[in-house]
Structure 1
């Protein structure tokens, strides 16, 4: 959607003030670790989204963009920390300036503001995955299924799938718990109806027979449909002096059932079991270590994945080899033990559900009896509420939150209920014996009331069961439909991923294959290992191959899902483990498959940086090398660095050795640039560490040979003035080279320890001056840039073309 022209950074992260001229082309920032490269990616991400991935999410702790995105020296004045970007909207070609301050990261200034530019920026905000770091590669390759699925979902923009699924699962579990509770209540109502009717199993014909027997005994006509209303049809429902005794036998039966349950609960110490369970749950909830362990497994897994072998990814504490892994292993064992403890508590809770549900039903049946005879008990009602809460809580103990609810339960105390029940039984027994007519009427009323309550509970249970069935079906349908859709996506992705990886590893894994399979909330991934079968990426492949897989999977996802919108991509040192032999294939892959994408790449590997230049992935002006970094000044790049003032300052304080080190470091850098620019045949070394003599001797000879070609060309065109200028330049090079060679020994003598070395600052200043003169001969006096053989080796020129030597002969 956009391409970057310039990126200006001020007091942001480790950068004090810097302007990156990217010119809508791929851009490389190289430098050793600790020179501030990642700050460029942070600034880019912040400008576009107002956020920084490294300061958010898992493991960020107390770190935040608002507090820690500013340079440490302006942390108190975040308005002084800002990033400004000039970008072009792809398609319209319009140019805009975006500026964002740490003081208000959610508010950006866009000039000019147009619907197209706003739409482009909104698109970037919705796709923050344009930036990829080595840390994030593990989300695609080494993570377990759920974490990999989350990482892929972020890139695909499918986060809502996981969010919706989580909601559906939560609703499904709640509905199932409610349905199970209603089912238990229905069982209790069924038992009451069986007791009232005197039948052993709930059967419509048997119930109707009992009802009609009592109706015939009252001189009433039989009924054909046993409904609560039909059962009482013709029965005198008005209150009488003996109304309370009409249910006497049924009441006695209900009291006896509750008494038996209370006796059983006492013998089984039901109160004690629940009390102990509540205490055990409370002990776990009060243990911060336990609660952390229950939920920490995923975090521990991520920490282990992000560990670089030296520093903790959360607190940056340095660890000795193996110690961090040992701590994580121990912590994960603690997490497993905590989960097992929670599972054991759940089993204990499940065993108590049936008994307490039975008590709830029988107490609920007895309370109306107590009300009818004037023996109500507030304490018993409270115990019923306690038991009801216990039943609902015991149904599910799967999470820390539900464990907390169990720990918060009020412990029941059913001992006083026995004496209250005995008193109630005495009152019921003291009621006058009913006549046969009253007995039949009372039984019909009990059956009618029990059937009414059973029918109501049955309807509620049926509604809740259907609700549970629907929510469960919704989960299943959602999983199957998204799985089918995602399966096609992943089928396309795995094909493209395999092609990309095979291209990067064409020399040894050209027949590579991979399989991506959605599995519930997770995403399983298996890859080919040299034709021996498919295995998880971490099983046999090396770290370098895993990094390559992560990059290739990321690129495949981006290409297939973002399409033409994939115009900008930031890669933050993502190839640190891929060997140099395969990095050139990565460059070829990027150039072939993503010709319209602007890549911003950071790397600590100078060799790969040079491969990107030599293969034409980036031009020389779009390569920036950070030389060093300091808190006060931020990064310093080689292009704008010259050591002469630094050397002068060091010599002024007598620090000859430090001045020699500064000079040598600069010469090793500039020597490579000079030799490269004039195509000097430098001796090949496996480590790429050529000596100064090798670099400059080859560079000087190549430059002089090029000037000689220029003189021959000028002669062929009849340009004696140019020949004269080139002769003078050739002479200056010869003189400067001789002086520098004479003084080269002095640099080594001072840098390394030598007992006889005792150069004075004045003497070493002459050494520095001789090398400065030589380097000037490789540069333009106007733009101060190095000269370079350009085009199809047809000219030698500088960036501003003040130096422009034609190398072509007149036909």
Structure 2
């Protein structure tokens, strides 16, 4: 037996001080105007299972702690209690504690804790209007790919870091060869030419050559015998320092590389964080407000707007936040290269520091060297943080630190050279010392080349492995995700065909295009695949989003019977809403559905479908009639429109009865016009006056009906309705004030409207009758109606 919610108790939560709802394991239909608390109830259900409230996520200034509790309550006051059948299992969620499900509920909660049982209007748009990466995230939440996506991203980062290290070692290898070329004055292609180039230089200087770098120590000692100065050891150190520091510590290319790196960081931070949290959130709020509320005026300046054009322009602006994964990958590689180069700078500074420590004449430089080393290490940390997109680099500070370190490096060279030049050595001794220093410098750089080559091989081998692992994992994941997409595309197309049986747009596909990105395509009129946003209306797009969500739920939420649709049919027309009702009843009758709406037509269509399918007993139809800060939502079991109007009449509330009957009449006229294929002048807003609907419907029925009992009954009802004073005013003014009419006049109007409803209803099941041109009949459209109404037409 499937798990179903028996009761819900909400305390101190988002507009609800205390509320009890008892579905008793049945489906729930919640109707109420905006601001009556429907979404708060859905938020409470989501919070119970997930500990989160989706509408608060990612919005600057909003948080669960601050905006979760009802006004004048604290987070610790929040308590959501639910009872589940079978077994009447009662569980609680508070701000700080999660429910602990019994074994029998484990599978149900495992799905529900992901929050993938709810579809809101804002989430509906994510399936259609979001960029491929955001669409993939929405789908990944449903099918449970988050952990795999995190693994893939980690593998990508490791690969990028190894690539950066490898590239840095390659650059260092080439730089060392260049430095040896400068020392020897010879062009060196690779490390195999170093000994030859060094010996050619030694021959030019009139010195003995060496066979290998293993002989350097002995060779230098032999040369030193030609130097008679007693401070030869100190002189050698000065010579080594001079030789090392005469080459600048860094060049302008390195600074330019860091500046470019920071520019990319700044771009990413600006687009993905600042704009996302400010401009994007504002645009999304505006888009959702204009779309959901069907506004034709700007909510800020109250000027008229072209709603569809404005929504299109907003979407275009939102699309300026581009897919930046390649830039992020490049940044990670660059950061590794910069950090490796900074580590080399520290190594060079440490080598010089150890030598200076042996020279009392340079003691003043030792302390400053330690500060320079500390500064470079701090720069490495700044680069690491920037590569994680936590902040920009303070580029002016980095440039200043590196330039200061370079200047200090050159100061060491100049001071060492000055002292060295003051030492009394003859030309032969200086020549010998220069040769010894040259040999030592070339050996050190050759040793660095050999070490670097080993490091290069180390990083390259690991990069090749990491790239292979990443690409294999990524391609396998991509293929498996595509398999999942392929497995549900049949149901997506089937559901869409149910809603749009005569639509020429076919072959709806979800395609994995690259890491964590999903494209949505469909074929128009047997042409090439295109983005559906370029092909179909806003209402069709919304219905497509519903189909995608329902297909994923059907595939992946097998063990969770809960399905919530929160105000998702705003832009969908009446005919296709009715199709959604049928889809839910036919395909999801084993789920516990909770549907909220502020749209009375959709509410009535759902109730009509309940009657048509004989499922009214498995539904709780609830209206939210009011809301107050002190009491929260006021809920009531549904009463039919006519019953509510009768109550108002019995209470002598003629204004309320007249207003309710006017809306009642509008609803009847819309449904009857739709079902009889009445030609009504199209209005973009979808808002019609009674006169704009009544006269075309009356003319249409006069053309359809044959003489007979039904036509006589229909004509009497129309005549009675038109003869009421209230209706006469309604046709001429659209919005008459009921206070201008007597109680009996209002009552006559109300009863006439109800009679009109009965004329267009099947007497057996209560569904609106429908015109079938092929049959030339008005008949009940309910296939389950045992005695369907039938009336022949012209």
TM-score under structure 2 length normalisation: 0.68
1:463 equivalenced with 2:458 (yes/no): yes
CA contact (8 A) 1:14 1:635 kept: no
For residues 26 and 167 of structure 1, do their structure 2 counterparts lie closer, same or farther at Cα, with a shift above 3 Å needed?
same
For residues 622 and 105 of structure 1, do their structure 2 counterparts lie closer, same or farther at Cα, with a shift above 3 Å needed?
farther
Give the structure 2 partner of residue 45 of structure 1.
Answer: 46
Instruction: Measure, in 1, the Cα distance between the counterparts of 2:479 and 2:220.
Output: 62
CA contact (8 A) 1:26 1:622 kept: yes
Give the structure 2 partner of residue 585 of structure 1.
Answer: 579
Post-superposition offset of 1:507: 2.0
CA contact (8 A) 1:232 1:448 kept: no
Give the structure 2 partner of residue 569 of structure 1.
Answer: 563
For residues 440 and 281 of structure 1, do their structure 2 counterparts lie closer, same or farther at Cα, with a shift above 3 Å needed?
closer
1:498 equivalenced with 2:498 (yes/no): no
Deviations along 1:34-76, one digit per CA (max 9) or x if unpaired, are 333323322322333333222x3122x333344434444xx32
Give the structure 2 partner of residue 785 of structure 1.
Answer: none
Post-superposition offset of 1:672: 12
Instruction: Measure, in 2, the Cα distance between the counterparts of 1:644 and 1:459.
Output: 91
Between 1:551-560 and 1:231-240, the stretch displaced more is 231-240
CA contact (8 A) 1:261 1:359 kept: no
Secondary structure (helix, strand or coil) at the match of 1:129 reads: coil
Give the structure 2 partner of residue 295 of structure 1.
Answer: 273
1:76 equivalenced with 2:73 (yes/no): yes
Post-superposition offset of 1:398: 6.7
Task: Compute the RMSD of aligned alpha carbons.
Answer: 6.0
Between 1:411-420 and 1:239-248, the stretch displaced more is 239-248
Post-superposition offset of 1:203: 4.8
Give the structure 1 partner of residue 419 of structure 2.
Answer: 427
Instruction: Measure, in 2, the Cα distance between the counterparts of 1:401 and 1:32.
Output: 43
Deviations along 1:71-112, one digit per CA (max 9) or x if unpaired, are 44xx32566654332222xxxx433123334xx35334x6xx
Post-superposition offset of 1:661: 2.1
Between 1:326-335 and 1:195-204, the stretch displaced more is 326-335
Post-superposition offset of 1:129: 0.7
Unaligned runs of 5+ in 1: 652-658, 675-681, 695-739, 776-787, 793-806
CA contact (8 A) 1:26 1:599 kept: yes
Give the structure 1 partner of residue 518 of structure 2.
Answer: 523
Equivalent positions of 1:528-567 (< 5 A) are 528-562=523-557, 564-567=558-561
Give the structure 1 partner of residue 57 of structure 2.
Answer: 57
For residues 79 and 8 of structure 1, do their structure 2 counterparts lie closer, same or farther at Cα, with a shift above 3 Å needed?
same
Instruction: Measure, in 1, the Cα distance between the counterparts of 2:748 and 2:271.
Output: 65
Give the structure 1 partner of residue 122 of structure 2.
Answer: 135
Post-superposition offset of 1:130: 0.5
Give the structure 1 partner of residue 152 of structure 2.
Answer: 165
Secondary structure (helix, strand or coil) at the match of 1:558 reads: helix
Post-superposition offset of 1:551: 0.8
The one of 92, 103, 114 aligned to 1:115? 103
For residues 189 and 567 of structure 1, do their structure 2 counterparts lie closer, same or farther at Cα, with a shift above 3 Å needed?
same
1:616 equivalenced with 2:626 (yes/no): no
TM-score under structure 1 length normalisation: 0.67
Post-superposition offset of 1:198: 6.5
1:404 equivalenced with 2:401 (yes/no): no
Deviations along 1:684-719, one digit per CA (max 9) or x if unpaired, are 99889799xx9xxxxxxxxxxxxxxxxxxxxxxxxx
Between 1:391-400 and 1:409-418, the stretch displaced more is 391-400
Post-superposition offset of 1:664: 3.7
Instruction: Measure, in 1, the Cα distance between the counterparts of 2:491 and 2:579.
Output: 16
Give the structure 1 partner of residue 710 of structure 2.
Answer: none
For residues 44 and 688 of structure 1, do their structure 2 counterparts lie closer, same or farther at Cα, with a shift above 3 Å needed?
farther
Equivalent positions of 1:272-421 (< 5 A) are 292=270, 295-298=273-276, 300=279, 304=283, 307-308=286-287, 310=289, 318=300, 320=302, 321=305, 374=360, 375=362, 377-378=365-366, 379=368, 382-383=371-372, 401=390, 403-409=392-398, 410-411=400-401, 412-413=403-404, 414-415=406-407, 418-421=410-413
Give the structure 1 partner of residue 163 of structure 2.
Answer: 176
For residues 14 and 52 of structure 1, do their structure 2 counterparts lie closer, same or farther at Cα, with a shift above 3 Å needed?
same
Instruction: Measure, in 2, the Cα distance between the counterparts of 1:441 and 1:80.
Output: 81
CA contact (8 A) 2:511 2:519 kept: yes
Equivalent positions of 1:682-697 (< 5 A) are none
CA contact (8 A) 2:120 2:565 kept: yes
Secondary structure (helix, strand or coil) at the match of 2:119 reads: strand
Give the structure 2 partner of residue 661 of structure 1.
Answer: 655
Instruction: Measure, in 1, the Cα distance between the counterparts of 2:648 and 2:543.
Output: 41
The one of 594, 598, 615 aligned to 1:600? 594
The one of 447, 452, 457 aligned to 2:447? 452
Unaligned runs of 5+ in 2: 293-297, 669-674, 681-687, 698-719, 755-762, 768-786, 788-794
CA contact (8 A) 1:5 1:21 kept: yes
Instruction: Measure, in 1, the Cα distance between the counterparts of 2:618 and 2:660.
Output: 19
CA contact (8 A) 1:548 1:578 kept: yes
Give the structure 1 partner of residue 481 of structure 2.
Answer: 486
Post-superposition offset of 1:123: 1.1
For residues 208 and 541 of structure 1, do their structure 2 counterparts lie closer, same or farther at Cα, with a shift above 3 Å needed?
same
CA contact (8 A) 1:543 1:577 kept: yes
Deviations along 1:600-640, one digit per CA (max 9) or x if unpaired, are 11222434323432442841672424263231452343637
Give the structure 2 partner of residue 86 of structure 1.
Answer: 83
Instruction: Measure, in 2, the Cα distance between the counterparts of 1:615 and 1:745.
Output: 35
1:97 equivalenced with 2:98 (yes/no): no
Instruction: Measure, in 2, the Cα distance between the counterparts of 1:747 and 1:634.
Output: 34
State the aligned residue count.
687
CA contact (8 A) 2:108 2:559 kept: no
Deviations along 1:306-358, one digit per CA (max 9) or x if unpaired, are 64464699xx974644798799699879989x99x999999999999999999
For residues 791 and 384 of structure 1, do their structure 2 counterparts lie closer, same or farther at Cα, with a shift above 3 Å needed?
closer
Equivalent positions of 1:671-682 (< 5 A) are none
CA contact (8 A) 1:137 1:547 kept: yes
Post-superposition offset of 1:517: 2.3
CA contact (8 A) 1:28 1:623 kept: yes
For residues 30 and 292 of structure 1, do their structure 2 counterparts lie closer, same or farther at Cα, with a shift above 3 Å needed?
same
Deviations along 1:747-785, one digit per CA (max 9) or x if unpaired, are 9999976899586xxxx599999999xx9xxxxxxxxxx
Secondary structure (helix, strand or coil) at the match of 1:535 reads: coil
1:31 equivalenced with 2:32 (yes/no): yes
Secondary structure (helix, strand or coil) at the match of 2:89 reads: strand
For residues 673 and 388 of structure 1, do their structure 2 counterparts lie closer, same or farther at Cα, with a shift above 3 Å needed?
closer
For residues 48 and 372 of structure 1, do their structure 2 counterparts lie closer, same or farther at Cα, with a shift above 3 Å needed?
closer
Deviations along 1:387-446, one digit per CA (max 9) or x if unpaired, are 687699789977754632535424323456545423311333426454998887666555
Instruction: Measure, in 2, the Cα distance between the counterparts of 1:237 and 1:393.
Output: 48
CA contact (8 A) 2:181 2:187 kept: yes
Post-superposition offset of 1:450: 3.7
Secondary structure (helix, strand or coil) at the match of 2:136 reads: helix
Post-superposition offset of 1:122: 3.4
Post-superposition offset of 1:232: 4.2
1:477 equivalenced with 2:472 (yes/no): yes
Instruction: Measure, in 2, the Cα distance between the counterparts of 1:161 and 1:644.
Output: 59
For residues 404 and 327 of structure 1, do their structure 2 counterparts lie closer, same or farther at Cα, with a shift above 3 Å needed?
farther
